[in-house]
Amino acid sequence: MMLLHIRKLFLVFGLMLATLAHAEVVPPDVLVKQITEETYVYVNQDPALQKGDISKLVEWAEKSILNQFDFNRMTSLAVGKDWRQASPEQKKLLVAEFRKLLIRTFANAFIGIKKEQRMEYKPFKLNPEDQTAVVKTLIIKPGAKPLDVNFSLEKMTDGWKVFDVTLAGVSMITNYRDAFTQEIHNNGTDGLIKMLAEKNKQLESKGRAS
């Protein structure tokens, strides 16, 4: 009798945890708002970031918002059909290097944003059965054309994750695909890994110099 009672308690507790986990899933538009507003606030509170110190923004992003990005999928989409032929170790290195490059690309869209500039969020609708979504935003700059920054997300087991960001109509992912395909064709997957590593070193050196 006591064993049955304990089992019932565990069952109820498990259902409570499942309900709580489900309730904590953040909708894609809310998630994007959190990402962009946290970035906007951080940029505006540090004079060094206003002057273009991208290294500080990259360091902050690593610790705060990047767990909401699916870099594995982003890399596989950018590499395209050649992703299937890559070894597990090559995939690991590709993700690591492309991740660094994407972080800097994303940071560049926000670096130097002034307090008089603001984020605007376009109307968003999500159907219960949707597994992907696009959240459209604008960076409003007085006296200049607004910058479109749109986020593509996919619903994962642990919540919504960003798998692409489109800046001014240009996808961060597809923007690299042709170059990646050409590099693999010429020098193989290891050649692409080397190219990405060298590009990241150049960007890091440029960031330190500025």
| CATH number of residue 29's parent domain | 3.10.450.710
pLDDT tens digits for 107-143? Answer: 776 766 666 778 899 999 999 999 999 999 998 888 8
How would DSSP label each residue in 75-139? HHHHHGGGGGGS-HHHHHHHHHHHHHHHHHHHHHHHTT--TT-EEEE------TT-SEEEEEEEE
* Residue 13, domain member (yes or no): no
Rounded mean pLDDT of 31-49? 81
**Which pLDDT score, from 0 to 100, does residue 20 have?**
36
Judged against a pLDDT cut of 80, whether residue 53 lies above it is answered with no
pLDDT tens digits for 72-81? Answer: 999 999 999 9
Judged against a pLDDT cut of 90, whether residue 15 lies above it is answered with no
pLDDT tens digits for 86-101? Answer: 999 999 999 999 998 8
**Which pLDDT score, from 0 to 100, does residue 59 have?**
80
* Residue 73, domain member (yes or no): yes
* Residue 10, domain member (yes or no): no
Judged against a pLDDT cut of 70, whether residue 158 lies above it is answered with yes
**Which pLDDT score, from 0 to 100, does residue 50 have?**
66
**Which pLDDT score, from 0 to 100, does residue 11 have?**
39
Judged against a pLDDT cut of 80, whether residue 198 lies above it is answered with yes
**Which pLDDT score, from 0 to 100, does residue 41 have?**
79
Chain CA centroid to CA 65, Å: 8
Q: Residue 62's domain spans which residues?
A: 25-209
* Residue 15, domain member (yes or no): no
Q: How confident is the model at residue 180 (pLDDT cuts 50, 70, 90)?
A: very high
* Residue 169, domain member (yes or no): yes
Rounded mean pLDDT of 140-161? 90
Cα gap 129→112, rounded to integer Å? 39
* Residue 19, domain member (yes or no): no
**Which pLDDT score, from 0 to 100, does residue 106 have?**
73
Cα gap 110→99, rounded to integer Å? 17
CA-closest candidate to residue 93, choices 101, 61, 104: 101
Rounded mean pLDDT of 59-78? 88
* Residue 14, domain member (yes or no): no
Q: Count up the domains in the chain and report the number.
A: 1
* Residue 159, domain member (yes or no): yes
Q: Are 121 and 29 in contact (CB under 8 A)?
A: yes
Q: How confident is the model at residue 162 (pLDDT cuts 50, 70, 90)?
A: very high
